[in-house]
A and B are shown apart, each in its own frame.
Chain A
Amino acid sequence: MTRKQRSALRGWGGVATMALACVLTALFTLLPLSRSGPEGPIGTGGPGLGVTRPAAADNCTPESAVRSLRPSKDEGATVKEIKERKDKPNKLIVGVDQNSYRWGYRNPSTGDLEGFDIDLVRAIADALLGDPDAVVYRAVPTNQRVQAIESGQVDMVVRTMTITCERLKEVAFSTAYFETGQQLLVPNDSEIKGYDASLKGKRLCTATGSTAESELERQSFGADVSTKVPNQLDCLVRLQLGEVDAVVTDSALAAGQAAQDPTVKLVGEPFTTEYYGVAMSKESPDLVRRVNQVLVDYRESDWGKAYEKWLADDLKNVDGPPKPKYRED
């Protein structure tokens, strides 16, 4: 056989392998769908077929983004699949944070995860599988949240994740379970009064790639915004070391910071409005509806308990959970 023929054959082998991989991917992604009942988006391809679903709404607005699917008490195909799957049956696999105090963090003295987000995860597991402990927690870094859902590594992500139009192109969100907004965290004796002219000449700290960073690029009131750190908590370290005068982050996370240092406080009104939602796969609308039903019940009483337990001390002026908003379809 000549070299050319050999390489040609190898080339065809590669194509055949890829084709086989495509078929397999399609099979695996479509199989669960074929059992997903009337709500299942039959006919929409998985990634293997290279067919992308149209974006949730091309004319997405912050207003429309928070609208989710109507709640349902029915146990959909996805929940059945979770109960019966070979790997980790009867366990909800959830992506969480391990570093956000009061939200999702690992207590170093017990090694356990705890916080507001974790309580919500337990409530969801209890409703879906009848056991609040039937959870496999997976720590996902901020920038891996979307990918973890898309790749099926996790069933959902409950991790102070803001509902945005950008993210809706790749994942589905539940209804909002918490309202927050960008705010300033300052030492108790600071002259800074809020997101206003009192920031002039002050040094502010933000996390790289955060909403706070882009908001300050828009309007910084003459503040020095050069301090950018990998994680919002690093800002509190800088504040304590006297390297900056204030931290800009969302009020929910700022509350987690204030809870660790009694000499700092939140000032001014939040100057943006953001909502946290539970992120799930776009391929599992039944799961989104089921979780929305859990949230309906959760808002009744457990939400308030969790708020009292984790956040009330440092995050005042919260009237309760945000009202759920649903899409028309």
Chain B
Amino acid sequence: MTDPHSGSAAPRRRTAFAEGAEQLRAAATTEPGRLRIIGALLALLVVAFGAVTAWQTSERAAAADDVIERSQPLTSDAAAIYVSLADANTAAASGFLAEGQEPPAVRDRYEDDIATAARKLTTAAANSKGSGTASAEIAKLNALLPEYAERIETARTYNRQGLPLGGAYLRNANDLMQTEMLPAAKELYDAEKERLGADYDAAKSYPWAAIALGLLALAALVWAQRRNYRRTNRVFNLGLVTATGTAAAVLLWLLAGHTLAFTALGDSYDHGIRSLNVLNDARISTLQARSNENLTLVARGAVTVPDDGRPNAGQDKYDVDYRARMRELGDGGVDRAGMGTLGEALHHADDETGRAPVEKAMAAVEEWQQRHEAAREADTQGDYEKALDRVIGDDDATGESFDRADKALEEAVEHEQQDFRGAAEDGRGAMTGLPVGAAAVAVLGAAGAVLGIGRRLSEYR
């Protein structure tokens, strides 16, 4: 040690320690002294067990609380940002296709999406302090959102004047959305999902320290009673029996409570979160497929996949993208190979009410694909008006199928959200009272141990 004071302090401490040790050694030579030491150790063990249990369970309860009140809402907010951005882009392209004035419903949808994205970004910013990725992506999205909205407005203005420049602006805004904003929104969503996973892990981790201490306290209590029995032939010491009972009760409560919480949280993840993840992915794919379908008609063949040996070279870029999005949704089956996000959602849905909307979405997507083929055929035949009618018209248009798929997926998300909440709250509830209860009961147990030993001690007076 380099501290100059420690040289003189150390010997004095050693003297005090040696003194204490000598006293203890002296006490250990007599039975009352030994009993005092045993009593103190037992009380200490039981109290420590109670304290560690209270600490570890309250930590897990707090993590479960975080899952329900913080990270899951933040994850679903991030998903909402992602979805509303994609939805805004889809609505902007839809409005563009309508000849003349944009239909008010489409315009409202776009406005709502932009407002939702802006609002959720604000809440996300307030709640994501300290998380590097999340903050960076939020800042990026906050900067890009007004720029995107401005380009859409410019596109609308030119379009109202009947100038093709409007379409070029719309495609430019779409590029901004596809290449910068949606990837940023996805990063944010992934970061929130990661945090949710970490909270889950914290809530589900086994309270090993508390369990070990509980077993140790029980073993010590059993040993003390056995020693007692050997020396006095007395079977029961009320104080020690009480201490043993309470310690056992706390240990059982801890095990049962944690197992229940573990199972319920696991359920909420498997049936809630996992479904929500694939459903959100499916919604994004649906929205993206729809924007690409719209943009195919907005661009009118102006944008093709570059002719440099890439697959699909020379084909309409937006139609190629549409097909890629549809592939993400799957082929309508639940086989591993082509199940896609919709098939996976169906696989994760655990009851009829969960499956019904997913099945509805699958049927709508299948119908959409068939109608899309008809629309594309009309378009490649040069019948633009017919193609337009098949995409945004009133009768049997792809837009109708898309709306149905989107609604069904929204419904499915709501259902899974409830599933998640129910199971997660059960999990959190399983640990209710455990921290306080464990502490109180442990104090009771410690008192029992002290009283029990005191009863024996009094026999030496």
Q: Which residues of A contact B167 (CB under 8 A)?
A: 99, 233
Residue A168 CB within 8 A of the other chain: no
Of B241-249, B298-306, B362-370, which stretch is located at the interface? B298-306
Q: Tell me how far the C-beta of B450 lies from the nearest C-beta in chain A, rounded to whole angstroms.
A: 80
Residue B171 CB within 8 A of the other chain: yes
| Interface of chain B residues 304 through 319 with chain A (CB within 8 A) | 304, 306-307, 314, 316-317
| Interface of chain A residues 121 through 172 with chain B (CB within 8 A) | 136-144, 153-154
Which single residue of chain B is at the shortest CB-CB distance from A256?
A: B164
CB within 8 Å for A231 and B168 given contacts A95-B382, A109-B100 = yes
Q: Which residues of B contact A234 (CB under 8 A)?
A: 168, 171-172
Residue B27 CB within 8 A of the other chain: no
Q: Tell me how far the C-beta of A139 lies from the nearest C-beta in chain B, rounded to whole angstroms.
A: 5
Q: Which residues of A contact B89 (CB under 8 A)?
A: none
B304–A139 CB distance below 8 A:
no
Q: Tell me how far the C-beta of B146 lies from the nearest C-beta in chain A, rounded to whole angstroms.
A: 14
Residue B433 CB within 8 A of the other chain: no
Of B155-163, B222-230, B423-431, which stretch is located at the interface? B155-163
Residue B55 CB within 8 A of the other chain: no
Residue A106 CB within 8 A of the other chain: yes
Q: Tell me how far the C-beta of B356 lies from the nearest C-beta in chain A, rounded to whole angstroms.
A: 40
A108–B382 CB distance below 8 A:
no
Residue B169 CB within 8 A of the other chain: yes
Residue A276 CB within 8 A of the other chain: no
Residue A291 CB within 8 A of the other chain: no
- CB-contact partner of A233 in B160, B302, B314, under 8 A: B302
Q: Which residues of A contact B379 (CB under 8 A)?
A: 139
Q: Which residues of B contact A209 (CB under 8 A)?
A: 306-307
Complexed CA–CA distance, A107 and B317 (Å):
23
CB within 8 Å for A109 and B168 given contacts A95-B382, A233-B302 = no
Complexed CA–CA distance, A107 and B381 (Å):
20
A108–B304 CB distance below 8 A:
no
Q: Which residues of B contact A303 (CB under 8 A)?
A: none
B169–A237 CB distance below 8 A:
yes
Residue A78 CB within 8 A of the other chain: no
- CB-contact partner of B162 in A109, A153, A236, under 8 A: A109
Q: Which residues of B contact A260 (CB under 8 A)?
A: 158, 163-165
Residue B112 CB within 8 A of the other chain: no
Which single residue of chain A is at the shortest CB-CB distance from B385?
A: A111
Instruction: Categorize the interface residue count of chain A.
Output: 35 or more
Complexed CA–CA distance, A129 and B316 (Å):
33
Instruction: Categorize the interface residue count of chain B.
Output: 20 to 34
Contact with B along A95-121 (1 / 0, CB 8 A): 100111100011111110000000000
Q: Which residues of B contact A231 (CB under 8 A)?
A: 168, 299, 302-303
Q: Which residues of B contact A107 (CB under 8 A)?
A: 162
Complexed CA–CA distance, A222 and B246 (Å):
87
Q: Which residues of A contact B154 (CB under 8 A)?
A: 240
B166–A236 CB distance below 8 A:
no
Q: Which residues of B contact A240 (CB under 8 A)?
A: 154
B385–A99 CB distance below 8 A:
no
- CB-contact partner of A139 in B168, B172, B300, B317, under 8 A: B300
Q: Tell me how far the C-beta of B273 lies from the nearest C-beta in chain A, rounded to whole angstroms.
A: 40
Residue B180 CB within 8 A of the other chain: no
Residue B206 CB within 8 A of the other chain: no
| Interface of chain A residues 254 through 309 with chain B (CB within 8 A) | 257, 260-261
B304–A141 CB distance below 8 A:
yes
CB within 8 Å for A236 and B165 given contacts A108-B159, A141-B302, A230-B304 = yes
Complexed CA–CA distance, A93 and B381 (Å):
10
B301–A101 CB distance below 8 A:
no
Complexed CA–CA distance, A142 and B301 (Å):
8
Which single residue of chain A is at the shortest CB-CB distance from B384?
A: A139
- CB-contact partner of A141 in B316, B381, B385, under 8 A: B316
CB within 8 Å for A143 and B164 given contacts A95-B382, A208-B306, A209-B307 = no
- CB-contact partner of B301 in A141, A208, A241, under 8 A: A141
Which single residue of chain B is at the shortest CB-CB distance from A113?
A: B384
Which single residue of chain B is at the shortest CB-CB distance from A238?
A: B172
Residue B99 CB within 8 A of the other chain: yes
Q: Tell me how far the C-beta of A249 lies from the nearest C-beta in chain B, rounded to whole angstroms.
A: 13
| Interface of chain A residues 64 through 118 with chain B (CB within 8 A) | 93, 95, 98-101, 105-111
Q: Tell me how far the C-beta of B94 lies from the nearest C-beta in chain A, rounded to whole angstroms.
A: 14
A111–B99 CB distance below 8 A:
yes
| Interface of chain B residues 244 through 296 with chain A (CB within 8 A) | none
A99–B302 CB distance below 8 A:
yes
CB within 8 Å for A143 and B314 given contacts A99-B300, A230-B302 = yes
Q: Tell me how far the C-beta of A205 lies from the nearest C-beta in chain B, rounded to whole angstroms.
A: 12
CB within 8 Å for A138 and B381 given contacts A234-B168, A236-B168 = yes
Q: Which residues of B contact A106 (CB under 8 A)?
A: 300, 384
| Interface of chain B residues 166 through 186 with chain A (CB within 8 A) | 166-169, 171-172
Which single residue of chain B is at the shortest CB-CB distance from A147?
A: B314
CB within 8 Å for A93 and B382 given contacts A140-B301, A237-B165 = yes
A233–B304 CB distance below 8 A:
no
A261–B165 CB distance below 8 A:
yes
**B contacts, CB < 8 Å to A:** 99-100, 154, 158-160, 162-169, 171-172, 299-304, 306-307, 314, 316-317, 379, 381-385
**Which 3 pairs show the lowest CB-CB distances between chains A and B?**
A138-B382, A141-B301, A98-B300
**A contacts, CB < 8 Å to B:** 93, 95, 98-101, 105-111, 136-144, 153-154, 208-209, 230-231, 233-234, 236-238, 240-241, 257, 260-261
Given contacts A231-B299, A236-B168, 13 further A-B contacts (CB under 8 A): A99-B301, A107-B162, A108-B162, A109-B100, A109-B160, A139-B301, A139-B379, A141-B302, A209-B307, A230-B303, A230-B317, A233-B165, A240-B154
28 contacts between A and B (CB under 8 A): A99-B300, A100-B164, A101-B163, A106-B300, A108-B99, A108-B166, A109-B162, A110-B162, A138-B383, A139-B379, A139-B384, A140-B382, A141-B301, A141-B302, A143-B304, A143-B307, A144-B314, A230-B302, A230-B317, A231-B299, A233-B164, A233-B168, A233-B302, A234-B168, A236-B168, A240-B154, A241-B172, A260-B164
